[in-house]
Structure 1
Amino acid sequence: MTTLTIAAAVILGTAGLLRWLRPAWYWLSIGALVAVIRLRFRWASVMEACGLTVPPSRLRLAMARATRTEVPASRVPQIRRLKVTRTGLVLRVKLRPGQDAFDFAASADRLRHSFGMQGVSAREVKAGVVELRMTGYDVLKRVHMPARCDSDLLRVPVSLCEDGSVRYRDYRQTPHELNIGATQSGKSVYQRRLVAALASQPVALVGIDCKNGVELGPLARRFSALADNPDDALGLLDALVERMAATYEVIRAEQRISSDVPDAEITADIWGLPEALRPTPVVLLVDEVAELALYASKSEEKRRDAIITALVRLVQLGRAAGIYVEICGQRFGSDLGKGITLLRAQLTGRVAHRVNDEASANMAFADISPDAVLATVQIPDHRPGTAIVGDSTGGWMTTRTPLTSLRDAVNLCNQHADLTPDLPELADYRPTLAASLKAVEHISEAA
């Protein structure tokens, strides 16, 4: 065996090992170059095979007939910009007259096979321009969030999308969200990721965890209030409704509607108030909504109705008062009783992890997108944290939350415990230090 053959075998073996162990490194060092060369050489033929070309214009045909020259070929969409990212390629394509962005979206799977990419998605940037995002490898197999993310107040990175982009949870844009998923689907990890990301921000975290606080109890040092049973949950929700009403009184007193007040100083929510008067924004996390909606006696039914009513009021009116709601559950349908459908209709954001039946997926996405329902029931059980994310516009995407252990979340919450706001309205539900330490000790013993 010659030296050249040995060297080639070593290089190929190293590349294969790198592709298996570090797909991002392989992509940036070798895969991107191969993909760009393949794209440049195959672009015209692939566009023609996928039906993404247009016939030559009448003027060019007339000129060809007049000059007795060869009939011009079909016109191919032009690549205006090509960018290599850490996960794939991003192309800006100029459409030809008569083409539509839907044509590229419908051909995404054929483009994926033709260019040998992991995934292809298309979206319209502006009239006549389509952005194609091509993923070079399976970014959801091992989720690695970028070192730098564009975070802001109440806007935190929570997961990675299948096209390689970061999915942010923006509470000011999508105030309330529903998060459903079966046991061991990654629903709790998603919630834990939210708490860990919000821990360093000047916001108040309020939790309802009727599983005796086993999920949120260890993070209690960063919570301004925490209820671990339905009775405390009702009191906590009533206190939040009172805080909401008081906040509206502050907003109303500061509006000062008159002809000499500039338009920029007129506000209908807390973000237009002077910073000195602006109340601390509150994020309410409900760990298992079914525990609040189920009842076994007449007295529990009255408590249940009061809880659901308070939740509906918060999701209907809380945004302007700076109260944002995150509701988690395994199921969230009309079988939980009256008021549930009304509550779900107010939850703009939808996140569905792996579910056990199609009915559960319908509870999240039937009123948004049938395609999202189909994608939800196809989530494999060996990839916890994978979820379908949708909103009221009908758009949806596949994402996966990176693993955030309970210990990591506890450490972050303890590190930023000094940022926990003291809300007088919720003082009766402020978690005690002893309870928090006891929960952390249980985690240490289990580890």
Structure 2
Amino acid sequence: MGVTVLVLTGAGIAAVLILRRVRPDLYWMVVGGPAARIRVTWSYASVMDACGLSVPPSRARVALAKVMRREMPANRPPKLLRMKTTRTGLVARIRLQPGQDAFDVISAADRLRHSWRLHQVAVKEVRSGVLELSMTGYDVLSRVHMPARAERSALRVPVALRADGTVHYRDFRKVPHCLTVGATESGKSVYQRGLIRELAPQAVALVGIDCKKGVELAPLARRFSAMADTPEAAADLLEALVEEMGERFEVIRAAQRISADTPDAEITSDIWGLPEKIRPVPIVVMIDEVAELLLVSAAAQKKRRERIITALVRLGQLSRAAGIYLEVCGQRFGSELGEGVTMLRAQLTGRVCHRVNDEASAKMAFGDIAPEALASVLAIAPDQPGVAIAADTSGGWSRIRTPHTSLRAAVATCNQYAALTPDISALDAFRPVLPPLPTGTGPAPEPVPATA
């Protein structure tokens, strides 16, 4: 009997250790989370006091203690309002005591992490006097497990997991244009591949520009409405997109019908305010290795480069209202690529920077919007493919990691939704010519509607 108990106990411990290694999120929900919640709740007051986050009692309480000849009241920590367990950690809300500041708690975040034996503690101000502590129980980026029920909507797709356990979304409606920078084998191509895989089921036109003879995007061509694999073809394609943008502006202008009796709700300045029956399909332009578009080796190629950079700058400045969005990828994207690059980079609101080979490349991505993120970019190790820093022009940034998406999985998804590929007359000349899919693949599911 005793041997049986020992065997069962050992098997249970082994199962828990394996679960912690293979599925840390499940281990946290079953074992780690409840234990951490008890630990934080039990030691909350003493840890806050040890970290210098408590204030002396009020004068009234001190005076009352003296009159009643009682023991002097202890220092008061921030009031713990509530705490909940998530799949990656704990989330607690606290109310600051009079005289305390949010900066005090932010400065002590690392000490709180050590005191409660957690992986990370992030502090966010919810409203005046109320803070939210997002505590991560383990390294969620070591093995990326995306939530099974991640939210998806038109032009808003999950692409990575953040260090605090939340999902990082690519929202084209809020951040229309994005620049992704990364060295070879940094995970940049996997990030782009995963983004295409998420966009494939949606009612959106994909346009690819891959000047590496299409080795990255050509396998996914069945889901692309247009594609170019040489700088010459890319120049023509970009100019066709500029013409398409102009035609969409004409549609918007014709639909405005601004007059005294037109309701405000029917006046729009972009495609998302148009009636669904006349709304053009949104276009996402995927550019792989942008340097190949702009580098020139002979004087005869300068005219082509000017055409390309002019079209890109015009798209970056104007195309959001027309529903055309840029997703630009490259190893470097600096002023050495020529005139107009800095102007284009200023239009790319979102920034994602994977591991880079030098500090200058990181400054190209974040030097103008989030310089405090440069140290985190340079700390990404070569054995961490997919790890990146994501930021935007608001100055906020976060550490993310993309789940691995194999090329075969991306190709299978693009083939599955090939029937959803929109036909855009202005881009017919650039439509990939491919053999038909084998019969028996079945009908494609319905696309996600592009609602306003």
Matches of 1:6 and 1:114, distance apart in 2:
35
Q: Secondary structure of 2:141's match?
A: coil
Contact 1:223-1:420 at 8 Å conserved across structures? yes
1:405-432 CA-to-partner distances (Å, cap 9, x unmatched) read 0000000000000000000001110011
1:229 corresponding residue in structure 2: 230
Tell me how many residue pairs correspond in the alignment: 437
One-letter amino acid of the counterpart of residue 250, structure 2: E
2:32 corresponding residue in structure 1: 31
- 2:130 is aligned with 1:129: yes
User: Percentage identity across aligned positions?
Assistant: 60
| TM-score (norm. length: structure 2) | 0.93
Using the TM superposition, name which of 125-134 and 284-293 deviates more.
125-134
| Root-mean-square deviation (Å) | 1.7
2:426 corresponding residue in structure 1: 425
One-letter amino acid of the counterpart of residue 318, structure 1: S
Contact 1:221-1:436 at 8 Å conserved across structures? no
- Judged with a 3 Å threshold, the aligned counterparts in structure 2 of structure 1 residues 132 and 237 are, in CA distance, closer, same or farther, namely same
Q: Secondary structure of 2:268's match?
A: coil
Contact 1:18-1:26 at 8 Å conserved across structures? yes
Matches of 2:437 and 2:235, distance apart in 1:
21
- 2:358 is aligned with 1:357: yes
1:287 corresponding residue in structure 2: 288
Deviation for aligned residue 1:59: 2.4
Matches of 1:224 and 1:360, distance apart in 2:
32
Matches of 1:139 and 1:49, distance apart in 2:
28
Matches of 2:340 and 2:272, distance apart in 1:
30
1:171 corresponding residue in structure 2: 172
Q: Secondary structure of 1:433's match?
A: coil
2:311 corresponding residue in structure 1: 310
1:377-424 CA-to-partner distances (Å, cap 9, x unmatched) read 001111100000001111100000000000000000000000000000
Q: Secondary structure of 2:303's match?
A: helix
2:116 corresponding residue in structure 1: 115
Using the TM superposition, name which of 94-103 and 263-272 deviates more.
94-103
| TM-score (norm. length: structure 1) | 0.94
Using the TM superposition, name which of 128-137 and 348-357 deviates more.
128-137
Matches of 1:252 and 1:21, distance apart in 2:
56
2:183 corresponding residue in structure 1: 182
After the TM superposition, which residues 18-417 of structure 1 pair with which residues of structure 2 at under 5 Å, given as runs?
Answer: 18-417=19-418
One-letter amino acid of the counterpart of residue 136, structure 1: G
One-letter amino acid of the counterpart of residue 190, structure 2: V
Contact 1:219-1:436 at 8 Å conserved across structures? no
Matches of 1:10 and 1:274, distance apart in 2:
62
- Judged with a 3 Å threshold, the aligned counterparts in structure 2 of structure 1 residues 6 and 221 are, in CA distance, closer, same or farther, namely closer
Contact 1:211-1:228 at 8 Å conserved across structures? yes
Matches of 2:12 and 2:178, distance apart in 1:
49
1:64-94 CA-to-partner distances (Å, cap 9, x unmatched) read 3333432221111122121111111111112
Deviation for aligned residue 1:177: 0.3
Matches of 1:308 and 1:435, distance apart in 2:
35
Q: Secondary structure of 1:260's match?
A: coil
Using the TM superposition, name which of 100-109 and 196-205 deviates more.
100-109
Q: Secondary structure of 2:126's match?
A: strand
Matches of 1:304 and 1:175, distance apart in 2:
24
Deviation for aligned residue 1:368: 1.7
Long gaps (5+) in structure 2: 439-452
Deviation for aligned residue 1:9: 4.6
One-letter amino acid of the counterpart of residue 86, structure 1: R
